[in-house]
Structure 1
Amino acid sequence: MNLQPLATPVKELSCLKIPHTDPEIHSAIIHRLLFHLSKAGEKQQVIVVCVGTDRSTGDCLGPLVGTSLSRFNNPWFRLYGTLEDPVHAVNLQETLTSIYAQYENPFVIGIDACLGQSSSVGCIQVADGPLRPGAGVHKELPPVGDIHLTGIVNVGGFMEYFVLQNTRLSLVVRLSDIIAHSLHSAIKEWKARNSIFARLD
């Protein structure tokens, strides 16, 4: 079975890391995403790359997010990685090559699951810089994104592939739902703000 390795947990102090049970999680993620999106150029194409596979419970976070985002039919970003058409270890490099050939200087948002400490399971992270898929299970894959979001789905450090297969689907679905709705809301608000500023110029 071709499992897509997970990203390494984010350790930078500057990243947002928040438990999925926090009642303010949506507003916190949206606020942080707006901060990062403010650095994107008005004419930069926003690309969302959801990394993962539907063949592993712990690693289906990315495709679940992608599938949820696809239902919004949002014209303000391009989407790669769904349950139907996943982006995983086998086609990740090809997908990235296609994106950078098709779009000039895109603003890429990477999304993936990751493993972490037991106290961090169920947290969502938003951070500047690229996602490093595969690092959590000692694989070398190309970095993804100008910024990235990860959901910590289980404990890392031992028998990672077994851990992935024994991850609670309910947690993964909950994390994917929060990420998808927050990201959609943030991009929508960012575009609305840009439209207002453009009219004022």
Structure 2
Amino acid sequence: MDTIPNLILPYSIHHESKNAIWHLSTLFLEHIPFHHERLIFCCIGSDRCTGDTLGPLTGSFLSKSISFPYKIVGTLESPLHALNLDSTLQELNHHTTKPYIIAIDACLGNEDAVGHIAVQEGPILPGKAVKKQLPPIGDVSVKGIVNVGGFMEMLVLQNTRLHISYAMAEKLARAFILAAHRYSLKRVDESNQNADNEYTWQQVSSLDLR
């Protein structure tokens, strides 16, 4: 039997761990307010650097899901990066309802942490690994550790295998989508709409959670 980890923040799990998608979705369900009027997923990064594609890949995967109803900023087609981050933040905050932002970005770390997805409260500091001064972003931060940091970070990012960014982004997107499905199911249960329960469970059970 699989052991359920301690799902408190900060939290980290390797993307290839058993049931990583399910555990991440449980964490997201507990710590992301899916009921929020302006829940926004900001997927940070550039499509011009393989190690920095985690964010835009995640955004592209989410944007292709017809069952994911939340606003997504940052995709491979329209990246959210250093050149437009500040103006995008100003635009998102220029609204009567303050947004609740989930920030997703790639980062560098220790060798034994490569491949881990880390989730914590508070903002991401984009560009910190490559000494860029960018505004903090996010109420919850989701970071994928794609390579080893500490020396010639920009070169390391540029020479990171696309496979690891792609694999982690795919797992992240599936976990977000599953969490959204589970939130919808929870609402159905709370409303005692028993007729819809079986269908919604079929939706969840049809997802590939490997």
Mark yes or no: TM-score above 0.5.
yes
Secondary structure of 2:101 counterpart: strand
Q: What letter is aligned with 1:129? A: G
For residues 132-188 of structure 1, give each alpha carbon's deviation from its aligned partner in whole angstroms, at most 9, with x where no partner exists: 111122222111111121110000010001101110111111001000110111123
Q: 2:179 aligns with which of 186, 189, 193?
A: 186
1:191, distance to aligned residue in structure 2 (A) = 3.6
CA contact (8 A) 1:76 1:188 kept: no
For residues 19-55 of structure 1, give each alpha carbon's deviation from its aligned partner in whole angstroms, at most 9, with x where no partner exists: 1220121111111111112xx3734221000000000
Task: State the superposition RMSD in angstroms.
Answer: 1.9
Residue identity (%): 39
Aligned residues: 186
Matched, 1:137 2:130: yes
CA contact (8 A) 1:29 1:126 kept: no
Structure 2 unaligned regions, length at least 5 = 1-7, 194-210
**Runs of 4 or more above 3 Å deviation:** 194-200
Structure 1 unaligned regions, length at least 5 = 1-12
Mark the structure with the bigger radius of gyration: 2
Q: TM-score, normalised by structure 1?
A: 0.86
For residues 111-152 of structure 1, give each alpha carbon's deviation from its aligned partner in whole angstroms, at most 9, with x where no partner exists: 000000000011111111111111122222111111121110
Tell me the residue number matched to 1:4.
none
1:73, distance to aligned residue in structure 2 (A) = 2.7
Q: What letter is aligned with 1:57? A: T
Tell me the residue number matched to 2:143.
150
- Counterparts of 1:43 and 1:20, CA distance in 2: 27
Q: TM-score, normalised by structure 2?
A: 0.82
Matched, 1:111 2:99: no
Matched, 1:45 2:38: yes
CA contact (8 A) 1:116 1:155 kept: yes
Q: Which has the higher contact order (CA 8 A, sep 6+)?
A: 1
1:75, distance to aligned residue in structure 2 (A) = 5.4
Query: Aligned runs of 1:80-95 on 2, under 5 Å?
Result: 80-95=73-88
Matched, 1:124 2:153: no
Matched, 1:27 2:32: no
Q: What letter is aligned with 1:116? A: G
Question: Quick one: structure 1 residues 155 and 103, their matched pair in 2 at CA, closer, same or farther if it must change by over 3 Å?
Answer: farther
- Counterparts of 1:15 and 1:24, CA distance in 2: 19
